[in-house]
Amino acid sequence: MPSPTECDRARAAKDPRFDGLFFTAVRSTRIYCRPVCPAPTPKQSNVLYFPTAAAAANAGYRPCLRCRPELSPGATWGGEDTVQRALSLITDGALGEGSVETLAEKVGVSGRQLRRLFLQHSGATPITVHTTRRLLLAKQLLTETDLPVTQVAFASGFQSVRRFNAAFTEGCGVAPTAIRRLRTNTPVGVLKLRLAYRPPLNFPLMLSFFAKRVMPGIERVNADSYERVLGPVDATTWIRVSENESKPELLLEIVNVDPRTIPNIVRRVRRLFDLDADLSAVHSVLSEEPLLVRGIERRPGLRVPGGWDGFEVAVRAVLGQQISVAGATTLAQRLVRNYGGQRIDGPAGLDRSFPNPESLVDAPLEKLGLPKARAATLRSLASAVLDRRVGFHAGQRLDDFVGNFIALPGIGAWTAQYVAMRALSHPDAFPAGDLVLQQVLGQGKRLGIRETESRSQVWRPWRAYAVLHLWHLSGETTQE
């Protein structure tokens, strides 16, 4: 969290670069706001600052109806590894049915220690963080969609409308029906949600990255948007992501959705476009390297593209070993056509689903034109996922994931780091054996793996961003 003096200045300037990095609470109104709130500036003596919305809620403050804290971009809390991994698991729904003790066990600490760490870094307990996120999502759905209150309750993780009404009224100070009256006009059957980020974001550059790796039949990249189909093959959900040209936010359209899956969709879209990154923090570390300074000057809004599904990213990475991006796309298309599901209700041109591990574990993949060794690697990968020897769930330590992944035949350190970077959205993933990185850093000569790894240490924990900048500086977007 910024210092009180920095918070004062950012609040007075309504600086969007600080949006999500702290929240302003006003004693006289018992309301908390974003630093960009358009309401008249309160007296300094009435103001308190909190590092998170959950901390403000924990202190008894209610979210502002004007600046809408639910639209604030995400933020990291000091880079503490245990807290970040636990937060990733909470985002993935770990406390929807599980306990804090179970969550703590997953990240390797006691429940008491995890509560202490969360209070230290976020100002609130894990349960309060989880509850505040649910209520803010519900507030957004009530304001921006025409979903019935019952479906909003289920979408935000509540099992009964009665419990939802009570929790919402207590946390937000008003009943859900009062928020619903503030709803803007929305097309029937289409959910359109606003996903805020902290600028800058080079959305066209992100689309260009995805366009070169598009999975035909599953996703489509247009000049100004990204589309994808998901869900069961007999109940297809369609999404479209575009840019709001007037505000730092993306627009997410969702058609034909089970409300209970909305949090998962929002989470995946945010990771896909790296919306929770704080590039000012990233750039302050990378700016120690002159090469990266040049990259940042040329592409200040460059972020790390995520992946929709971990298994999908991993399969695609194996398909692309030692061949071009275009060649990998051709193989991926064959894989989807032969082993993916056929949708019966998808939009034109988006009528497939990606193969699941069960469909690949014994598949004769050599018939797709794959070398025997690579086909065997894909089958081993599918088997490892089914046996839970490898997983793409949130909250993993980078070294643990890489160690498990490279234990599979045909998987090297480069592939493991690349998958960690895109499937796990790990900000410190770094494929030191990448030829392009070695050549760009060597500026005329190729560095060795050990020297490349050593050179990267000062960029931690943001080495994945350095990778993207160096790839772009080479004139090659990536080697997949």
323 pLDDT exceeds 90?
A: no
Let me know the angle formed at the C-alpha of 117 by 115 and 123, rounded to the nearest 5 degrees.
Answer: 80
Tell which residue, 399, 407, 406, 449, has the closest CA to residue 424: 399
Are 432 and 347 found together in one domain?
Answer: yes
The one catalytic residue in 274, 276, 278, 434 is 434
The closest alpha carbon to 239, from 211, 213, 270, 208, belongs to 270
For this structure, is 81 an active site residue?
no
What is the percentage of the chain residues whose pLDDT exceeds 90? 76
The burial class, CB within 10 Å (0-12 / 13-18 / 19+), for 326 is exposed
CB 394 within 8 A of CB 87: no
User: CB neighbours of 74 closer than 8 A, spacing ≥ 6?
Assistant: 20, 270, 275, 276
Segment 204-233 shows an average pLDDT of: 96
Calculate mean pLDDT across residues 131-143. 93
Q: Return the CATH number at 23.
A: 3.40.10.10
Q: How far apart are CA 254 and CA 427, in angstroms?
A: 28
Regarding pTM above 0.85, the answer is yes
Mean pLDDT of 46-67: 93
Q: Residue 188: left if φ>0, alpha if ψ -120 to 50, beta else—which one?
A: beta
Q: Tell me what pLDDT residue 41 has.
A: 83
Q: What's the pLDDT score for residue 77?
A: 54
pLDDT tens-digit series, residues 5-40: 999 999 988 888 889 889 999 999 999 999 999 988
Three-state SS at 166: helix
- Is 9 found in the same domain as 157? no
Neighbours of 366 (CB within 10 A): 12
Q: Identify whether 200 is preceded by a cis peptide bond (ω within 30 of 0).
A: yes
411 inside domain? yes
Q: Are residues 123 and 39 in the same domain?
A: no
Q: Say yes or no: 320 and 401 in one domain.
A: yes
Mean predicted lDDT score pLDDT of the chain = 92
pLDDT of residue 408: 96
Domain CATH number, residue 119: 1.10.10.60
In a shared domain, residues 332 and 467:
yes
The answer on 150 and 32 residing in a single domain is no
Structural domain includes residue 191: no
Query: For residues 416 and 405, is the Cβ–Cβ distance under 8 A?
Result: yes
Question: What band does 476 get if pLDDT is binned at 50, 70 and 90?
Answer: very low
Structure tokens at 263: 């949090």
Residues 425 and 469 in one domain: yes
Average pLDDT over residues 54-81: 84
Assess if residue 105 is contained within a domain. Answer: yes
Per-residue pLDDT band at 182 (split at 50, 70, 90): confident
Question: For residue 49, which phi and psi values (nearest 5 degrees)?
Answer: -115, 140
Assigned domain for 237 exists: no
- What residues have CB less than 8 Å from 195, skipping those under 6 apart? 249, 250, 251, 252, 266, 269, 270, 273, 275
The tokens for 444 are 């005329």
Query: Which strand (E) or helix (H) includes residue 91?
Result: helix 81-91
* Assigned domain for 223 exists: no
Mean pLDDT calculated for residue range 171-186? 82
For 82-124, the pLDDT digits (tens) are: 888 898 899 888 888 889 999 999 999 999 999 999 999 889 9
21 & 138 share domain: no
> Sign (positive/negative) of CA torsion 373, 377, 378, 383?
positive
Total of domains in the chain: 3
Rg (CA), the chain: 23
Written as six digits, the tokens of 374 are 């690579």
Domain annotation covers residue 425: yes
Domain of residue 142, residue span: 81-180
The predicted structure's pLDDT at residue 79: 56
8 Å CB contact between 357 and 385:
yes
- Whether 183 has a pLDDT exceeding 80, the answer reads no
Average pLDDT estimate for 191-207: 94
Give residue 76's pLDDT. 61
Do residues 31 and 88 both lie within one domain?
Answer: no
Q: Is the sign of the CA dihedral 294, 281, 398, 357 positive or negative?
A: negative
**Tens digits of per-residue pLDDT, 139-162?**
999 998 989 999 999 999 898 999
Residue in 7, 33, 67, 172 annotated catalytic: 33
Listed in sequence order, the residues at least 6 apart from 229 whose beta carbon sits closer than 8 Å to its beta carbon are 218, 219, 236, 237, 238, 239, 343, 346, 347, 350, 351, 352, 353
284 belongs to a structural domain: no
| Chosen domain end from 180, 200, 235 | 180
d(CA 276, CA 248): 12
pLDDT digits (tens, 9 = 90+) for 362-393: 999 999 999 999 999 999 999 999 999 999 98
Bond prior to 305 in cis (omega within 30° of 0): no
pLDDT given for residue 96 in this prediction: 85
Are 318 and 460 part of one and the same domain? yes
pLDDT digits (tens, 9 = 90+) for 381-425: 999 999 999 999 888 899 999 999 999 999 999 999 999 999 999
For this structure, is 7 an active site residue? no
The reply to whether 329 and 457 lie within a common domain is yes
Of 180, 206, 239, the residue at which a domain comes to its end is 180
pLDDT in tens, 244-295: 999 999 999 999 999 999 999 999 999 999 999 999 999 999 998 999 999 9
The pLDDT, as a whole number, for residue 374 is: 96
- Evaluate if residue 477 carries a pLDDT over 50: no
400 occurs within a structural domain: yes
Confidence at residue 391, expressed as pLDDT on a 0 to 100 scale: 94
**Residue written as tokens 């009062």?**
178
In the three-class reduction of DSSP (H, G, I as helix; E, B as strand; rest coil), residue 324 is classed as coil
The CATH number for 381's domain is 1.10.340.30
The CB-side HSE value for 91 (13 A sphere, CA atoms) comes to 20
| Together in a domain, 381 and 425 | yes
DSSP-assigned states of every residue in 248-274: TEEEEEEES--GGGHHHHHHHHHHHTT
Contact 226, 251 (CB under 8 A): no
Domain boundary among the residues 180, 211, 242 is at 180
Length of the chain measured in residues: 480
Contact 147/141 with Cβ under 8 angstroms?
yes
